[in-house]
Amino acid sequence: MNKSRILLPAALCLLLPLAAQAQPPRGSATGTGSDILQDLADARRDIRADLADARKEVRADLAQAKQELETGNLELDNSMQFGKRSHHAKYGKNALPHAEITPDGDLLIDGTAQQINPSQRRQLLAYRGLVVEVAKTGIDIGQQSAEAALHAVDGSWVGLLFGAMTGSLERRIERTVKEQVEPGVRTICRMLPRVRDSQQRLSASVPQFRPYANLEADDVTDCEDDVRREFASR
């Protein structure tokens, strides 16, 4: 689970154009002192406006993702992939039909609602709620990391330009993102025992769900060690 590798390129794609924009306009060296100061002030204002727009865009996109998690169907064949195994490795690629849990607690397999009783529906809803909670925590980590990365470059144009030229900007962004991501991923690791307990109860109660129960015991116990090793290697 290498969240930093996912988030850092996205953050850099967002931020590096600002470094280019931060450069004073060509030919400014031949202008008057007041013209140069005005050009620098304009560049700084533009950078701050772009950073503000980027923050708004990140917040809006992630808020929409949360809303879709809450109101959409939870796809079982694409959720809770941990460790070296996946349900494809366990059951064979494309062996499992598409399965979802709806916000009302229905279990759909290939679009067909399975027969369930009220107790099974409550268990399906409980499991769905826990997986959605994990996913929303991941979204929160992404938002915090993206905003921290944006904050890391919200300084003077001189510092931004120097950082971009020397590579210190990228290192500062990576360090900032790592500081935000690692504690959040550990939080997700600590949520997994509840998810697995719910998964196991649901598997025992609803046989149709059993092939989609792909969170293994060692995925839970090894999670924090895997995170520690991953971040130590960076």
Contacts of 83 (CB under 8 A, 6+ apart): 216, 218, 219, 222, 226
Residue 141 pLDDT greater than 50, yes or no: yes
- Give the residue-averaged pLDDT of 184-213: 94
Where residue 148 falls (left for φ over 0; alpha for ψ -120 to 50; beta otherwise) is alpha
Residue 55 pLDDT greater than 60, yes or no: yes
Q: What is the residue-averaged pLDDT of the chain?
A: 74
Residue 44 pLDDT greater than 80, yes or no: no
Please give the pLDDT value at position 154: 56
Residue 210 pLDDT greater than 60, yes or no: yes
Q: If you average pLDDT over each of 32-36, 135-139, 151-155, which comes out highest?
A: 135-139
User: pTM above 0.85?
Assistant: no
- Give the residue-averaged pLDDT of 3-18: 42
Buried/exposed 71-110: b ≥16 CB within 10 Å, e otherwise? eeebebbebbebbeeebeeeeeeeebeebbbeeebbbbbe
Please give the pLDDT value at position 63: 85
Helix (H) and strand (E) counts for the chain?
A: 7, 4
**Assigned token pair, 115:** 């027969």
d(CA 104, CA 93): 29
Please give the pLDDT value at position 112: 96
Contacts of 113 (CB under 8 A, 6+ apart): 106, 107
pLDDT band at residue 5, thresholds of 50, 70 and 90?
very low
Q: If you average pLDDT over each of 48-52, 79-83, 178-182, 230-234, which comes out highest?
A: 178-182
Q: What is the pLDDT of residues 176-186, one digit of tens each?
A: 767 778 888 88
CB 192 within 8 A of CB 216: no
CB 181 within 8 A of CB 189: no
Residue 61 pLDDT greater than 70, yes or no: yes
- The more confidently predicted of residues 114 and 52 is 114
